[in-house]
Chain A
Amino acid sequence: MAILTVALTPRGKMIPAAYELLTAGRALADSRKEPLCAAVLGSKAPEFAKNLLERGADKVFTLSDPRLDNFNDELHAKTLAALARKEGLGQILLPATVAGRSLAARLSVLLKAGLASEVCEVRQNGTGLKAKRYQYSGNVVSELEFKSQTQVLTVQAMVFPPAEKQAGRAGEIVPVALDASVESRIEFLSYQPEESSEIDLANAERVVSGGRGLGSAEAFKAIRELAQALGAAVGASRAVVDSGWIAYRHQVGLTGRTVRPKLYLACGISGQIQHLAGMSSSGTIIALNTDPDCPMMQMASISVQGDLNELLPLITAEIKRRRGQS
C-alpha cells in the first residue's frame, strides 16, 4: 500500500512541515518499495504540485476545491479518507499542527487505522511499522508498534530535515474532485491573523525565552531585541505570562507550548520541570542566569553566568556587529 503525505496550505501558503513529511515519507517508501504520494488541498493546489514532485513525491493528488481553502475538520477528513480507500493508501503522514492533529484523529476512525501522534521516528520493521514518540511532556520516549492495516501518523515539527528540491524531477499529477455530496456541519466565519512581524514558536528554528529573572515587564524588551537580532521567536516562562509581561501564546512548557528549535536561549529561567517539559528536546540549549546551580544552568548545552540586564544588550550588539560584517 502506498504512502501518503498530506500538504496543508493554510491561507494559500504551503506549510514548511510538508517538506519534512516528504523526507520521512521517502525513507518509508524506499524501505517498503512503495510509491510516495502527496495530497495537496485547497484551490491553489495545482500551483504546489510540481514543487512536491521535485521534493520527492512520485504522485501528487491535487484537491483544488475552494471548499478546502480553510481547514474544515470534517470535509478534509472525509475527502482524504475517500482518497485513501480509492487509491489504496496505507500509511498517512500529517503535520503535528492544530489542523494536522485534528485531521489525523478523524481520519484514523474513518479508516479504522491505528494512530500515532507527534512521532519523532518511524521505521519499517519486517512487515510492521514502528514509531517513537515523546510522552509525559518530553520526559519519556515510547516505542510503539502498529497492528492495524492502515496507519495514520502525525510527525513532530523539525525532526526531519525538509526534502531538498531536485529541479526537473518528474512524476504524476492526479487532479481529484471533491465529492459534492460530502457535507460538513462546520462553517468558517472569519480569520484574525497574529501580529505578522512575529515568528511563531511552533515552527521556529530559534527561540529566545525570558523568565522572572528579567525583573520587570520593561526588561522583557531586551528579549524581543535579542530575538529580532537572531531571527528567533519569543518564548516565556509561566511566571512571566502570569505576571502579564507577555501573552499566553508565548508560554513554553507543560501548560504552554512545546517547542523543538535548533537553538533555545533560556534567559533568567530557573528550569522548573514544567518549563523543561516544553523545551528539553531543543537542539542546543543556552542558559543565561545569575545562579550557576539552577536546573536550567545544569542541563544547558552552554551556560553563561551573569546578570541579564548587562548580558542581553551586549549579546544583541555583538550579534548585530557580526551580522553586519558577514
Chain B
Amino acid sequence: MKNTPATVNMPVDSATGKLKTAGLSYAMNPFDEYAVEEALRLKERLPGSTATALTLGPDSSCEAVLREAISRGCDAGVLVTGPEFADANPYATSFALAAAVRKLHAEKPVHLLLFGKNTNDGNSGAVGPETAAWLDWPGLTSIKKIDAIDEKSATVWRTVEDGVEVLKVALPAALSTVKEINEPRLASLKGKMAAKKAAIPKWSSADLGLNPRELQAALSSTTVLRYSPPPPRPGGIRVEGATAAEKAKKLVDILVERKLI
C-alpha cells in the first residue's frame, strides 16, 4: 500500500515544474483500501493465516498507513524507507518491495500479495505486476473476486474490458484488486489500540541487501523532468433558448456542425 496525498487536486508550480506538496495531508491510497480489506477477509476465511501490511516511502511519515492497516485488523506492518525513495518510479519501487517480500518470505512463507489497482498519485498500476515479475511469481491484475483458495492455488475473477475471466493461479502469487471486490471496513477501537502500540520495523536498502548499482539503475530508468497543469480547456459556450425544445435543437445543430455526431 502507499501513503498518497488525500487529494488529486494537486497544485503545480508552473515556473519550477514541481508539485506544491507543502501542507498536504496524506492517507492510504484509496484503491489500497480494497486490498487491505480483502486480506482481512481472507484471514477470516482461512483460520491460522496472518496479514502483514507493507509500504515503501522516503521517511517515517509513511508509517501512518501501516498503523491504519493494523487498526483495521492487519497483524503487522513493515516500512521500507530511505530518502532515495522520494519520487521513486514503479520499477524501482517494485524492485525494493520484492526484496522486502523475499525477506518476509524467508521468515515465514508468504502465499499471496495483494495490491490496489493503482495509486491516486502516480496512476500507473504497475507496481503489483512488476513486484510479481521481480519475484518470478505469477501476477494477475483487475481482480474482482477471490473464489476458492488454499495454500497451493486460488481461483479468481478478472474484470476485462469486454467481460470477466475466471483463472486459476498457483500460489505464491500477486493480485491487484479492483473496487468491486469488497466494501472496506472502518478501524475498530481495539484495532486502534493495537495500531498505537505496534512496533513497525524499518528496512533500508542496505537491510534488504539491494545492490546499489542495480537500485540506481532502477531509480533512473525513468525520471520525471517536470510537472505541469493539464492544457487549459477552450472557453465554453452556452446554449440559450426560450424553450427546452429550442435548446435541444440548437445543441444538436452544434453537434452536427462540429462533426461530433
Contact = CB atoms under 8 A, between A and B. Distances in A.
Nearest to A113: B221
Contacts of B8: 136-137, 139, 254, 273-274, 277
A88 interface: no
B230 A186 contact: no
Interface string B142-169: 1000000000000100111111111111
Contacts of A158: none
Contacts of B124: 115, 117-118
Interface string A27-39: 0000000000000
A123 interface: no
Contacts of A108: 91, 126, 130, 133
A73 to B, nearest CB: 6
Given A10-B160, A141-B230, A305-B238, A185 B252 contact: no
Interface stretch (A49-57, A159-167, A209-217, A294-302): A294-302
A191 B132 contact: no
A314 B250 CA distance: 11
Interface string B219-243: 0111111111111011011110000
B251 A304 contact: yes
A97 interface: yes
A28 B128 CA distance: 29
A283 to B, nearest CB: 8
A191 B126 contact: no
B29 to A, nearest CB: 11
B133 A140 contact: no
Contacts of A143: 224-228
A186 B138 contact: yes
A255 interface: yes
A10 B19 CA distance: 39
A200 B260 contact: no
Interface string A161-204: 00000000000000000000000111111111110000010110
Contact of A281 (B155, B166, B230, B236): B230
Given A254-B30, A315-B252, A101 B160 contact: no
A200 B164 CA distance: 13
B251 A74 contact: no
Interface stretch (B47-55, B69-77, B104-112, B115-123): B115-123
A245 interface: no
B194 interface: no
Interface in A43-96: 70-71, 73-74, 77
B248 interface: yes
Contacts of A187: 167-169
Given A147-B221, A301-B233, A98 B10 contact: no
A109 B180 contact: no
A117 B252 contact: no
A301 B166 contact: no
Given A263-B260, A322-B256, A306 B170 contact: no
Contacts of A112: 217
Nearest to B235: A301
A101 B173 contact: no
B221 A136 contact: no
9 contacts: A102-B139, A106-B133, A115-B89, A117-B90, A186-B168, A206-B261, A230-B261, A263-B261, A300-B236
Closest 7 CB pairs of A and B: A114-B221, A109-B133, A105-B129, A314-B248, A185-B170, A117-B124, A310-B244
